[in-house]
Structure formats: structure tokens, C-alpha cells
Structure 1
Amino acid sequence: MADPHPERPSIEREDKRSFLQKLVEFIHPGPDSRDELIETLADAEDNDVIGAESRVMLEGVLRMADMTAGDVMVAAPRMDLVDIDDPLETLIHTVIDTAHSRFPVFEGDKENIIGILLAKDLLKLQRSPSLSIRALLRTPTFVPESKGLNDLLREFRGNRNHLAIVIDEFGRVAGLITIEDVLEQIVGEIEDEFDIAEDEGDIFGLADHTYRVSGDTPVERVAEAFGIEFDAEQLTEDFETIGGLIAHEMGHVPKRGEHHVIGGFDFFVLHTKGGAVRWFKVSPARGGDAAD
């Protein structure tokens, strides 16, 4: 006997194809290589099939397939580490000065990473002063330099751990990589709380009576704001910004935590990005430093 209520074919079935698969099928027969696909995406943008931001993101996804953790990591010499034996006051200053949310923690030797400290976990010490810093550490994740960014992003999403220590072929610490570093390969540079639009200003007064100064601030503006009299050499056209001038005087690109005194003011490197100083913390120099 036939089923009086036969199963009707679903008119609308779930389409499990990825967006990229749909796009490739749309432009069938499609390109034969990744480079041709990227050229096709550019044509699609020109023909208003996709927007400019969509094209950039799709190209980022395609190029990321060939990239590894070693390609985008923060190299070991530039890592901001925390010593497990540092007193709480030192830890708090490190958190404030670097503005990171996660810190690799070492014991004894900097190669000996024993955990990851979340800045927000330091608040627990206010409620429980007897709590050990060691008890706050999260288990570190180690990945090889050859780890593909696609696989790494999948792991970041799966284990909710947004920082990994990168290890070279000899087992040494080569650097670190965050989920932000990976995502920036797709969506471009991710702005953070230090990335303030140029039209919003370049010198900011802080609550502790110090100042936050953009590295791109013109030297003349810094001179006017702080009453600094730069000499003729310092005002040469080769150094239009305060970041460029300080890098020249120090003889290298300043790193986070370094400082330089000019005109009685201490310029502390608060934040760097892309090989340049993004923000200085400026305060009156103390004692003998003021004479530098």
C-alpha cells in the first residue's frame, strides 16, 4: 500500500557551499590558478559584482593559505615578557606601559615560558592579596614556525586561546603570534585603542599629568606644546616628526619600553606598530636625565 503522505522533495535545501565556492561557480568555467582568481576578483569589483572591501578580504584569505606563523609573528627580541619573580607593582607597570592584554611569563631564562598571564587576572589579586601569581597563569600554547595560518586560526577559534608561542626548528622561542596578527592578514590592520584618527589630535593630556604623543606629531608642534627649543640640526627637514627625530638620535628604531630625553622631557615608547613608534608617553625628565 502506498504511503498516503509520501515525503515531498524539499524545495529549498540548505546550501552548504562556501561563499568562495559560490563565487567560483558563478564565474564558471573559472580561473586555473590562484593568481587568475585574484585577477578575476579585481574584475568583479570593477563590474560592481563585489565591493572593494569584499575583494580585499577574499584576496587576504587566498594569500593566507600559503602563509605560516613564522611569516607574521612578533620576533622574540620584540616580545614583551613577564618574569614570574617580578613584584606585583612591576607587573602592573608593564601592563600599563605596553597596553597588552596577554603576556608570556618566563622563569629563570627567557626561553623557559611557563604560562600566559591575562592582564585582567591581576584584578583578582585585589580581592585575594594572598593569591599567587603562578596560580593565575594559563597554559601556554606552542606552535612551530611552519604552522599554517589557516590551521592556526582554526585552533585559536577552537581552544579560545588567542596567543601562541612560536618555536623554531631547534626548539627555541622564535616569537609569538596572536589571533589579531592572523585576522589582520584578511581584514587589514585592526585599529586598537591607541590608533586614533589623525584629525582627532596628536597630543593628549593624561590623568597622571603626563602626555600621550603620537610619533607622527610634527617636531614644531612638540616644540610649541612643551616649550622645547630644538637646535638647527634637530629641525632639519629630514626629521619632520618627533618619532623620526628620536629614532635618529637613538641610532635605531625605538622599541617599546625604551626612552629618550629631549629638552628636559622624557619620551617613553609606549606603543609601536609597523616598525615605527605610534605613541610616546611624555613627562618631565627627572634628576640628571633632564640635562641630556
Structure 2
Amino acid sequence: MFAVRLIGVLALVALNGFFAATEFSLVAVRLSRIRQLVAKGNARARVVEALLGDLHRVVSGVQLGITLTSLAIGALGEVTLAKVFQAMWQGESGTHTALLAHAIALACAFALLSALHVVIGELVPKTVSLARAERVALLVAFPFRWFLNTFRWVIDLLDGVSGAIVKALGVSAAHVHGVAHSTEELQIQIQQARERGLLAAGEEKFILSAIELSQIQVREIMVPRPDMHTLPIESTLDEVMRAFATTQRSRIPVYRGSQDHILGFVHIKDMMWVLLDRERRLEENIPPPAFDLSRVLREILIVPETKPASELLLELRTRHVGMALVVDEFGSILGLVTMEDILEQMVGEIHDEFDVVEKPLTLADGALIFDAALNVRDLDAQYNITLPEDPAYATVGGFVLAQLGFIPKGGESFEYGNYRFSVVEMDGKRVAQVKIQRVRSPESETSLPAEAMLQPAKGLKSSSRDS
């Protein structure tokens, strides 16, 4: 009789472990992987997918199973093991009273049952389930579905009562079992995946850049209006082809009157068809028609400066276009953004065989001279020089103007953090080149007050000149 009871206790502990393994494996398993197995016709994966679609019922079923088995373990196990310990205690010493022997036996039985229940019924199954979530989930799928169907009415009753209590507390079911992650949580998970060797460093950088794309506005990555290559609508065929040859662009915006009135853009492929048609006509002694640039214009997309780069990327793909004009709230053209500009935010600079890679000029003292149109994000990513992000500017030149507060002349300089920024060249009222020189080592940051690191030095050398 004792052996039967002992086997029953062990079976209940194993059953408790089954429910614990079910809960953790279904929570930890990847839904994307399960769907791959479903597509291959795996019947167990189909059951797992159905269970994952109703996690509320799964959790209720698991809790019911664990509660019933735990109560049964306590009721059966304590009586069974207590008799064994009581017999051992009385056998060693007959001087103790039966009451003391029974109390000690109960304490020993409780300690042994608790250890058995926690280790075999909880910790081991949970650890295995987290390490082999997919395998365990597929293994428990069919028996757990049978359990849910068998005790459906009990689970529905418990769900109804718990749902009423939760609703009274003002919490919706979606908030209880929601599994959505914020952007910050996703970034942490991706970093952890790289630390565990599941992602390469390059893959981590690419994924994080793609996530951060929604936080970048098109004004931060656009080609500013002064740097845009445009053509007037009156341009001749030779002028158009010369513009394509000198700019190495495949698309050039076309305007009438001024750049504030962009009509569209001309594509190099359309111009090639024009040239081929003219060549064919000349071979057939047919006079070619007068060139009219308006006949080959394509519609250009116009977007606000605050549009997220991720949304623009999707819109460019949907419309099958490769560029868009950026305008401010008053409709004035601020610049131009291409699909390549957006992709470079994820994969870094993209250069083809025609691009001339421009590197900053390095002086003998270690200072670097940058094009003022360099984006502050690129300055941080490529040279580890971090500037504060501010809606007032997106480039190094804009940062210089924001710090000085006036239109500078060549040679104006100021200190910010560990660096001195000097205006090397002006293009009218626009900063063209900036020299950045380290004036103190990073270790000295700890000896500076926060204001000295986060704001320009109080004594702006607005009248100093660089020799």
C-alpha cells in the first residue's frame, strides 16, 4: 500500500512539472518558428499555434492544473511520508511521546515534499522549457489540449470570475496578456541577442538602425536646397545631357522661374530614349522635333520636413519613385531626399564607381576640416564626435550658427565640450567649412561641471582668427 501511495506522489509531482513546462514553453517559444513548422505541415505545431492564439485560456488551464496537483501532493504525500518518518522516530527511541513523534514526522515530510515539489515539479521543468522551448511546446501540445477540452467548463467558470474581478479593477484583458514591446525594449532584446551570439555585430547595427529610422525626420537627411542640382524648363538637350554628365545624377528636378516652382524631375533613362529616337530619325533622314523638356518630366513627390524617414521609404516604394522634395510649413522648398539617403541611415554610406569619396582634411595638429553640410548624425557615427540633437539644425554648419547666434566670418571660433569649432570658409551667409580640434582629453570631462560639457564655453571667441 505504501509503494502505491509513493508512486502516486511521484506521479503527481511529474504532472505538476508537466503543467509548469507547458506554461513556460508556450510563453518562450517563437511564434515565427511555429508558423514555419505549420507551413511544412507539422500537426503538433498547428496545435501550438492554436494555443498561442488563446494564451488567456492556456494560463487559466495551467493554473488549474498546478493548483489541483499541488493540493493532491500535499494531501497524499504528507500522510504517506509522515507515517514513514514517524515509524523511524519511534523505532529509535520509545521514550518520546506519540504527539512529539507525529509533529517531527510531519515537519520532515513537509520539508521533503517541498524540496521534491520545487525541484522536480517546478525548477527542472521550467529550466528545460526555457532552454528547449520549441521542443517542449511540441511535446506537450496534444496532452495539454486534451486537458483544456476535458476541463473546459471549469476553466470557463474560473475565467468568468477572474474576468469580472479584473474588469472591476479597471484593467482590460489586453493589458493583462499583452506581449507588445516598445522600441526601447526591442533594442535591449537585440543587444542581448548579439551578446549571446545569436546576431553578428553588423546585423545588430543594421536592425537597430532600421528601428531608429522612424525617429529620423527627412529634414535631417535631405540634401539642402543650396546643394540641389536643378534645371530650368527652358534647358536645351545639350544642357540637360551636360548636367547629367557633370553631376553624375540619374534624376534632376526641373523648375520654372525659380527653385520654389519645381515642375517635376527628368530621368536619365528618359533622356537616353530621346537620344536614341533622334539618332534613328537622323539615320532615316527625318528631321527630329524640337526638344521640349516638359515632355519627359515625371511627377515629383512632395513631403513635409517632419515626415519620418521610415514612412517616406514605404511611400517611395509604393509610388515607385526614388526622390522627394522637402518643404516647410509654408510650402517653401528646403531640400531634396532620395531613397539612397534613407538607406544610408541603415547601412552606412553607399558609394558607386562614379562617386568621389570626400574625406576631411587632417592638419598637422590633428584638427579635421569638415564640409559644414555634414549631418550631425554622421559626425557621431563616423568620427565619434557627439553633438546635441536639436530641431533647429541638422548639419555641422547649422550647429555652428546655433551656438554663435550670428552670421560669422571666416576664423570665428568657440569651444564646446572637448572641442574647438572654427569657421574656415563661408559661402555667402552659409557656413561652408568647419575645423574641429580637440582641446582636452575625454578623461578631463570628469573634472568639468556638467554645464561646461553640455554648453559652449562662456567666453565665445567670436572675434578670434585662426592663423
TM-score category, normalised to shorter length: 0.5 to 0.7
> TM-score, length-normalised on structure 1?
0.58
In 2, Cα distance between the equivalents of 1:156 and 1:123?
A: 23
The counterpart of 2:184, out of the listed 35, 39, 44, is: 35
Partner residue in 2 for 1:18: none
C-alpha displacement at 1:237, in angstroms?
3.5
1:126-176 deviations in whole A, cap 9, x for unaligned?
Answer: 223424221000011111112122221111111111111111100111111
Cα contact 1:31–1:40 (8 A) shared by 2: no
Corresponding residue number in structure 1 for 2:265: 116
Q: Distance in 1 between matches of 2:311 and 2:368?
A: 40
Q: Say if 1:242 and 1:50 are closer, same or farther in 2 by CA, change over 3 A.
A: closer
More helix by percentage: 2
- Measured at CA, do residues 106 and 34 of structure 1 come closer, stay the same or move farther in structure 2, by a change above 3 Å? same
Larger-gyration structure (1/2): 2
The equivalent residue for 2:207 is: 58
Is the counterpart of residue 252 in structure 1 residue 456 in structure 2? no
The within-5 A match list for 1:1-292 is 11=42, 33-126=182-275, 127-128=277-278, 129-130=288-289, 131-195=291-355, 215-216=358-359, 237=364, 252=425
CA distance in 2, matches of 1:242, 1:151: 34
Matches of 1:69 and 1:217, distance apart in 2: 25
Comparing both chains, which one has the higher relative contact order based on Cα–Cα distances under 8 Å and sequence gaps of 6 or more?
1
| 1:111 Cα offset (Å) | 0.6
Unaligned ranges ≥5, structure 1: 1-9, 16-25, 197-213, 220-235, 255-273, 276-292
Please give the per-residue CA displacement for 1:46-81, whole angstroms capped at 9, x wherever unaligned. Answer: 321111221111101111111221221111111111
- Secondary structure of 1:139's counterpart equals coil
Pick closer, same or farther for the CA change 1:109–1:58 going to 2, 3 Å: same
Which one-letter code corresponds to 1:82 in the other structure?
L
With over 3 angstroms needed to count, the CA separation of the structure-2 counterparts of 1:52 and 1:195, relative to structure 1, is farther
CA distance in 2, matches of 1:186, 1:239: 29
Equivalents in 1 of 2:215, 2:368: separation in Å?
A: 37
Q: Distance in 1 between matches of 2:243 and 2:312?
A: 28
Distance 2:179 2:202 in 1: 22
What are structure 2's unaligned runs of at least 5 residues? 1-40, 50-132, 134-177, 279-287, 372-409, 411-423, 428-432, 435-467
Q: CA deviation at 1:242?
A: 11
Query: Would the alpha carbon gap of residues 253 and 43 (structure 1) be closer, same or farther in structure 2, given more than 3 Å must change?
Result: farther
SS, match of residue 151 in structure 1: helix
Question: How far off is 1:40 after superposition?
Answer: 3.4
Report if the CA contact (8 A) 2:228-2:335 is conserved. yes
Is the 1:74–1:177 Cα contact (8 Å) retained in structure 2?
yes
Structure 1 pair 60/253, CA: closer, same or farther in 2 (3 Å)?
farther
1: distance between equivalents of 2:368 and 2:314?
41
> Which amino acid in 2 is paired with 1:85?
E
| RMSD, aligned CA | 3.8
